């Protein structure tokens, strides 16, 4: 049943993104900022954690999951180091994913020829 919930919730997040993009003619940059911010805002009150418990990867894979991970890393670091931990530990849980994206982007850039 978790596969059905993952499909429905992940699909709902992506469908919301497509509707917003079509209705308001938002760029990719606007959508990224909007959905990372949405993921951070939904983390208050542990709403996004409950969403992840219900749907698993359906809520973690969209870009809202990245915003959720940033908030969790910042709050965990703030508990250990105080207010300075918010700034220093924000990428604690997401650094491996960010590094993978950079390496993968370089590899794809070398493999395929960009359009002019």
Task: Give the integer Cα–Cα distance in Å for 90 and 22.
Answer: 32
In order of 28, 99, 101, the CA distances from 96 in angstroms are 23, 5, 9
Question: What is the average pLDDT value for the chain, to the nearest integer?
Answer: 88
Express each pLDDT in 60-107 by its tens digit.
888 888 888 888 888 888 888 888 888 888 877 788 888 998 999 999
Identify whether the C-beta of residue 70 lies closer than 8 Å to the C-beta of residue 90: yes
Identify whether the C-beta of residue 66 lies closer than 8 Å to the C-beta of residue 96: no
- For the chain, domain boundaries: 2-111
Sign of CA pseudo-dihedral 79, 85, 87, 92 = negative
Q: Which pLDDT does position 44 carry in this prediction?
A: 84
Identify whether the C-beta of residue 25 lies closer than 8 Å to the C-beta of residue 52: no
Verdict on whether the full-model pTM lies above 0.85 = no
């Amino acid at each position: 049943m978790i596969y059905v919930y993952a499909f429905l919730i992940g699909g709902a997040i992506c469908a919301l993104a497509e509707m917003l993009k079509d209705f308001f003619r938002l760029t990719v940059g606007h959508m990224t900022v909007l959905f990372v911010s949405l993921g951070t805002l939904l983390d208050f009150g542990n709403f996004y954690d409950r969403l992840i418990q219900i749907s698993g990867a359906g809520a973690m894979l969209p870009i809202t999951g990245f915003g959720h991970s940033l908030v969790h890393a910042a709050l965990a670091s703030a508990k250990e180091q105080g207010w300075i931990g918010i700034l220093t530990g924000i990428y604690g849980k997401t650094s491996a994913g960010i590094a993978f994206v950079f390496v993968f982007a370089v590899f794809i850039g070398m493999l395929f020829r960009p359009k002019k």
